Amino acid sequence: MRCVRLITCATVGASLALIAGCRSVDAPELDYPCVSWCNTVAPWPHDGNPYESTTFTIYSDGVSHQVLADVATIAEAVFTDLKTRFEIPSNDLFIFPAGQTKIHLYAYKYHFPTQWGGQGFVGGLIIFSLDHPERTEFGHTEVGNYTRLMTHELTHVIQGLLVGSTHSYSTHTWFEEGLGEFVSALNPERSILTLTDLNDVIEEYGELNPIAIHNDVYPPIEGVAVDYFYPMFELTMRYLCDDQGLNHTLVDAKNVFLDMRDGMSFSEAFENNFGLSVVDFEAEYFVRIRQYLN
């Protein structure tokens, strides 16, 4: 394989991650078109040499099979843990996209995105490889960080497989990202644990209601998604599942997606499983959250 010179930018962390920087790398020229799910995100080609594990087909842009085997080990362990936590007895509960029997994972080393380090969607996810050069340069070599990111993105994959839709299935952003953040504990240093923490972020960004974020549309404020809304989404899901809050479980979250599969809107499914309407939750949000943190 001959190499071509690419000027690339990379980010690491959550779906809206810390921007790392740009650098040039030598990347193999790839001749195999990406599988269908990938084309809904970007036309990412692969090297024609995927790695197969029990649950995953892992494509890449020239990553060695030994590294892909290590990625598969992490992915399989995370997937098994998530099925246990959501009480999913087997893969029979999932609806895969047509033609798929496994989750497609694209582990990239050379082909860098510009806004995220991982993204999960129906039937697949994209995540930087364990030998991604930016992991060393920007200090993200700790395997736990990679595992947490994998957990966040596979949570999105699972919700898509439970709903069974190949397109947008209209889950509100605050719920799906809150679930991913809560389950993965991806950014614990940003968690809002006290009233003081809450007041600090409100002082910086204003009292912005996370329940109003339905479709990934955020106010035009620098850093507001990562530094305000993602911690608020995690706090919201923690409130829903804590016995000192609304006292529900991840099983209730799973059942939201199954109700949506059966034709309910997200709002209907949320109220059916959490006993609280989305409209009332938004209206009462800060009263409820302040009482919870007090």
H helix or E strand, kind and range, residue 20 = strand 18-28
Is pLDDT at 148 greater than 50 in this prediction?
yes
Is pLDDT at 102 greater than 90 in this prediction?
yes
CA distance 56 to 198: 39
Question: pLDDT tens across 218-268, in order?
Answer: 999 999 999 999 999 999 999 999 999 999 999 999 999 999 999 999 999
CATH of domain 3-163: 3.40.30
Give residue limits of the domains in the chain: 3-163, 173-293
Start-to-end Cα distance in the chain: 61
Question: pLDDT tens across 6-50, in order?
Answer: 323 333 333 333 333 334 456 677 888 776 555 555 567 889 999
User: Nearest to residue 237, comparing CAs of 274, 199, 195?
Assistant: 274
Question: pLDDT tens across 201-214, in order?
Answer: 999 999 999 999 99
Phi, psi of 245 (to 5 degrees): -110, -120
pLDDT band at residue 115, thresholds of 50, 70 and 90?
very low
Please provide the average confidence, as pLDDT, over all residues in the chain.
85
Is pLDDT at 121 greater than 90 in this prediction?
no
How many residues does the structure list for the chain?
294
Instruction: Please count the other Cβ atoms lying within 10 Å of the Cβ belonging to residue 170.
Output: 13
Contact assessment for residue 127 and residue 196, using Cβ atoms and an 8 Å cutoff: no
Total-model pTM: 0.88
Lay out the sheet containing 56-60: strands in order across: 51-52, 56-60, 103-108, 124-128, 118-121
